[in-house]
Structure 1
Amino acid sequence: MITPTASSGISLMPHQQQIHDFLVDHPFAGAWLGVGAGKTLTTLSVLQTVRPMGHILVVAPVAIARSTWIDEIEKWGFPMRTKSLIVDQNDRKLSKAKRLERFREVATDPPTMYFINQELLTQPPQETKLLTPVPEAVPAPTVSPEATAILGLLRARGPLGADELIDAYRALVPGDANGRPVAKTKVRSWIQELLKSALVTWEAYFCRSCSGGGCAQCRFGLVDQLPVHNINGQDTIVWPFQTVIIDESQGFKSHDSRRFLALASVRPAMTRLIELTGTPAPGGLHDLWSQVYLLDQGRALGQNVTAFRDRWFTPKMVPGTTTPAKWIPTANAEAEIHQAISHLVMSAQNTSLQLPALSIQDVNVTLPPDLLRAYKDFKRDLVLDIVQTYTSDDGNLTQSVESIIAVNQAVLTSKLMQFASGTLYTADPDDPATKGRYEVIHDKKIEMAEYLVRNSGGEPVLIAYHFKSDKEQLLTRLRKAGVDAQAFDGSRDMVRRWNTKQIPVLLLHPAAAGHGLNLQHGGSTMIWYTLPFSLEHYLQTNGRLFRTGQTKPVIIHRLIAKGTQDERMPSVLADKQEVQDDLIEAVSGDFTAEQALLAALEEEIREDLSDFWRSGRL
């Protein structure tokens, strides 16, 4: 909890002032600012201007909700009472019990700015684990008289939770001479005795209150835990946050996601809603409906997604079915949609924004001819034979040949990505003991990564990886070479240590830490070990270093394994970038801009995989 006493003077850049004025004048609005353009600072200045009543809720990806906002409030001295619903004062993740306690404290707290990650807005119903008696065995295991009594109680009453069973037993059994009940620790030991004897097991059951339908007893998100009052015969959630800020609003692009439906249900209780993003539609104009609905409750783009689709899209069906695989925008859809939302969102295009020089360099990685042949054979035949070496029970080295089979296009593309990066997962889906198992196929990419690290002039390097196996191999290789490489753990302390140049190499996964982190002070060199399919992940991760406040030219190396699908990824991302830029320009205040030239490429990975599949098989 942080409560600065005074706000230092802040001078906004022209594009930030333009956004500030728009958000002040529009209680329900979106601001589309590029990565590193100062969305957080601009929004904090808006709050200082309008001084909203009551609580404020910031909903964001976990890294942003955990550190970015609080860091900016501290940096600029904004006089706001803040409280995290994710971590404690020492940046340690809250336990479920402590988090639920903080949810309840919202009702009695003075006006506060709260922070929560998107995943904790709402959660699916959780099953309850109950102690359940098993059918009597013959002969029955021998246990203590006390354990036998507890077993009899459980069989009489049916499955119970541990605390319920303990309380029930203590209520039935006489206490000691002073009237004190049996110690809970003793009862727990007798329950453990029953579990070890296999007379009792833990079984999962639906919630008793709702039978799995979902209620406060089995759903532990913020919206799920808020009180519900009956108003005019209708159950209504008591929503205590008059002002809501959604940072990285593209996280709400799915119209049927739990998080969107949860916020949509409480949207009428809000008096101000601000949506922030640098990538509003990373997968095309189809991603916009739910984000815009939260702003105006359906007035601009339709009351539901069906109306939106009927007006501006035509379905592309899965062959041989009536199921839409993709929604294709009609001829004038993009221009019309952009115009329809122009009063709700603004993107300030500003040439005076001072950003460092940016150099993106594709670094070729050459695979040995035999490996490249194996890659191409795998792509053609969907089967790859690899030799595994292991130590047998008698201590001798033994080799065996294992076949890796790609059962469909998605699996094949994932396997080819792994192959190009140097490792290949070999887990047997029918054998949980093999989960996470992989084989090292080659070390050519990792050699190049080490070379680039060693030739960075002693400056820290950020490495973006895709697979866990890549992370493990990078950490092992670099540490063996004497480089202190560390994987990002999400903590504010690690952000601080990186920005004070205490971490020579930081490994970061785009999906987990590609948004919102201010890492520009710690280094200016990044390596993409494997390029992502997602434009959002690509731009946001680049923006950790390429942003305002960076004092050095930024160099981004993209490792490209020659002869593999790595070679196509730069053009795929460039095509998506063109569509994204058209959308942002259309709502920048300059509505004479040319109509968007291309229909949006779907960002959803299955569409990308289909494209790769078709091009590779023809």
Structure 2
Amino acid sequence: MIYRPYEYQQTAMQWIIDNPRCGLFLDMGLGKTVSTLTAIQQLMDDAEVSRTLVVAPKKVAETTWTTEAEKWEHLKALRVVKVMGTEKQRRLALATKADVYVIGRDSFVWLVGVYGGNLPFDVLVIDELTSFKSSKSNRFKAMRMATPTVKRVIGLTGTPAPNGLIDLWAQMYCIDMGERLGKSVTQYRETYFEMHKWNNIVVRCDVKKGCEDIIRRKIADICLSMLAKDYLELPDLLTHTVKVALIPTTMAAYTKFEKEKVLEFADEHAEESANVLANSAAGLMNKLSQFANGAIYDEDRNVHHVHDEKLDRLAEIIEAANGNSVLVFYQFKHDIDRIVKKLKGYTVKVYADESQLKEWNAGKIDVLLAHPASTAFGLNMQQGGHYIVWFGTGWNLELYQQANARLHRQGQQYPVQVYKLVCANTVDERAEAALDNKKGVQQSLLDSLNYLIRKHSAVMKVATE
């Protein structure tokens, strides 16, 4: 795909090139990843850098950076290696010749230990800078040791201080080693904040009068902030497919499960008419979708856990939303309990009636779980947020479009970001394709059923020959 950057993306790329240590505070959907990779490619072409390390949330490290590099024509030559897996696999990845090395933030402490704090990279990209906001965390301490050893540092996030400016010190230290906000968090707090204590425990921090502007001015020379509403025509609907990869053992279990269910279905329902067959196929597809979502019902409606890959990716998206409310559409009731448990610490509610709607539009809910069938029509939810995540899309195009229209409608002040969690190499991809092709539910189910029957029948045929 040919990359034709918007003007704001050109500004972001030039900012990275002109500022060796910088923060790029761009809203979700403004293209932080491609802008950063393009700037790195330019710096490599100019022989200013040769090796880049990207530290990112695990799921982002697994997919986003490699996917973006493969997607754009001008980045095809960029060699991106994922430093993931077991320690042996990570060490092998580090030994591989590449331009960009991507590691999960949970492995960063290990990496700094491997190199004794002296990173052999020219550029350090911190994807989701807010992950390093705690000055007491081990990952920040590792970053504090490592950042002086690289020439360039790029901090990426949407909003660096979703919970207030008190969170800003550690993040800025990762970039400039305390040059702007001081060498210690204690100094930062004493200079800019009124500390309210109870029994010698800090219970509240208030910014001193006039200090908010002082803080922002101090970091303005290296931090570029962009809000989506300022750079995109409003309102807009931006859709993102988030590929969720299953680990090999889980993928093998899914493949076996799919094969058994499809061949069993073919034997039992071969003589049904198209209408009856479509209804029966819906049950099969639901069973496969449950597995892709991470849990399945047995015949007695007991729930059996399978994996947490979608839950992990959902949590990272909500974290990246930086305090913005998120509307999550679920498919199955067992999704609710698992999501609520995963998002402990957030205000999570399940849509049931008008009371949740009022709370949502008043900004009192962090994450609202809703089934598209119950919220797709007639509800005005645009005041409450502009982020949507589909934990599973289902097959109904009308429900999908109408559910998105709860936020993407007149009165919405921001571009609506829609994230579809699609489990790679599963029935999720068939459902997404059905929505993209705008086919009816019945035809989509029949097409996908025929595809799966042909797929597994062919495998059986080869196996017996």
Q: TM-score range by the shorter chain?
A: 0.5 to 0.7
2:224 aligned residue:
346
SS at match of 2:123: strand
Letter in 1 for 2:363: S
Kindly provide the amino acid, as one letter, of the partner of residue 348 in structure 1: M
Match of 1:71 in 2: 67
**Does structure 1 residue 511 correspond to structure 2 residue 315?**
yes
Cα 1:26/1:256, change in 2 over 3 Å? same
TM-align CA RMSD: 4.3
Secondary structure at 1:275 match in 2: strand
CA shift for structure 1 position 347: 1.5
Tell me which of 225, 229, 239 is aligned to 2:119: 239
* Alpha-carbon distance between aligned partners in 1 of 2:297 and 2:358, rounded to the nearest angstrom: 24
The DSSP-based 3-state class of the residue aligned with 2:122 is strand
How far apart, in 2, do the equivalents of 1:337 and 1:284 lie?
Answer: 12
Cα gap change, 1:570 to 1:65, in 2 (>3 Å): farther
Matched residue, 2:89: 98
d(CA) in 2 for partners of 1:309 and 1:285?
A: 10
The question of whether the paired residues in 2 share the 8 Å contact of 1:13 and 1:353 is answered with: no
Q: Are the aligned partners of 2:196 and 2:205 in contact in 1 as well (CA < 8 Å)?
A: yes
Write out per-residue CA displacement over residues 372-407 of structure 1, whole angstroms, 9 at most, x where no aligned residue.
Answer: xxxxxxxxxxxxxxxxxxxxxxxxxxxxxxxxxxxx
- Residues 1:573 and 1:301: Cα distance change in structure 2 (over 3 Å): farther
The one of 333, 339, 363 equivalent to 2:211 is 333
**Aligned pair partner of 1:24 in 1, 6, 17:** 17
User: Which residue number corresponds to residue 526 of structure 1?
Assistant: 329
Distance 2:219 2:36 in 1: 20
What TM-score comes out, normalization by structure 1 length? 0.42
Please show how residues 137-176 of structure 1 align to structure 2 within 5 Å: none
User: TM-score, structure 2 length as denominator?
Assistant: 0.55
Q: Could you say what secondary structure the match of 1:347 adopts?
A: strand
Give the secondary structure class of the aligned counterpart of 2:351. strand
Aligned partners of 1:479 and 1:65: how far apart in 2? 39
- Find 2:54's aligned residue among 53, 58, 67: 58
Question: Which residue number corresponds to residue 363 of structure 2?
Answer: 571
Bigger radius of gyration, 1 or 2? 1
Matched, 1:261 2:65: no
Is structure 2 residue 200 aligned with structure 1 residue 322?
yes
Question: CA shift at 1:565, angstroms?
Answer: 13
Q: Is the 8 A contact 1:486 1:507 kept in 2?
A: no
Q: Please give the residue correspondences for 1:71-220 in structure 2 after superposition, counting only pairs within 5 Å.
A: 71-77=67-73, 78=75, 79-86=77-84, 94-103=85-94, 105=95, 109-122=96-109
- Number of residue pairs the alignment of both structures matches: 300
| Structure 2: distance between partners of 1:287 and 1:478 | 49
Amino acid at match of 2:143: L
**Do 2:294 and 2:305's aligned partners in 1 also have CA atoms closer than 8 Å?**
no
Shift in Å, 1:511: 2.4
Residue 325 of structure 1, CA deviation: 2.5
CA deviations on 1:410-435 (whole Å, 9 max, x unpaired) are: xxxxxxxxxxxxxxxxxxxxxxxxxx
Q: Residue 49 of structure 1 is aligned with which of 42, 50, 59?
A: 42
Deviations 1:445-471 (CA, angstroms, capped at 9, x unpaired): xxxxxxxxx9xx9xx99xxxxxxxx97
Q: Runs of 5+ in structure 2 lacking a partner? A: 239-278, 287-292, 322-326, 367-382, 387-465
Aligned residue identity for 1:295: I
Contact 2:294 2:307 in 1 (8 A): no
Shift of 1:99: 2.5
Of stretches 13-22 and 344-353 in structure 1, the one that deviates more from structure 2 is 344-353
1:250-296 alpha-carbon deviations (Å, 9 max, x no partner):
00101121111111112121111111111311221011101111221
Distance of aligned partners of 1:45 and 1:508 in 2 relative to their CA distance in 1, 3 Å threshold: same
Q: 2:351 corresponds to which residue?
A: 559
| Alpha-carbon separation, structure 2, partners of 1:119 and 1:69 | 17
The letter of the residue matching 2:103 is I
Q: Unaligned stretches of 5+ in structure 1?
A: 1-7, 87-93, 123-220, 229-236, 360-453, 462-469, 491-505, 518-523, 539-556, 582-618
Q: CA deviation at 1:42?
A: 0.7
1:162 is aligned to none
The CA deviation at 1:68 is: 0.4
**Larger relative helix fraction:** 2
**Which residues of 2 match residues 385-424 of structure 1 at below 5 A?**
none
Contact between 2:196 and 2:204, CA under 8 Å: does it hold in 1?
yes
Whether the 8 Å CA contact 1:292–1:298 is kept in 2: the answer is yes
The 2-side partners of 1:310 and 1:477 are apart by 58
Q: Which residue of structure 1 lines up, in the alignment, with residue 432 of structure 2?
A: none
- CA 1:111–1:489 in structure 2 vs 1: closer, same or farther (change >3 Å)? same
The structure 2 residue matched to 1:476, chosen from 297, 306, 309, is 297
Cross-structure match for 1:37: 30
Does the aligned pair in 2 maintain the 1:63–1:516 contact within 8 Å? no
Q: Distance in 1 between matches of 2:351 and 2:147?
A: 44
Task: Name the residue aligned to 2:178.
Answer: 298
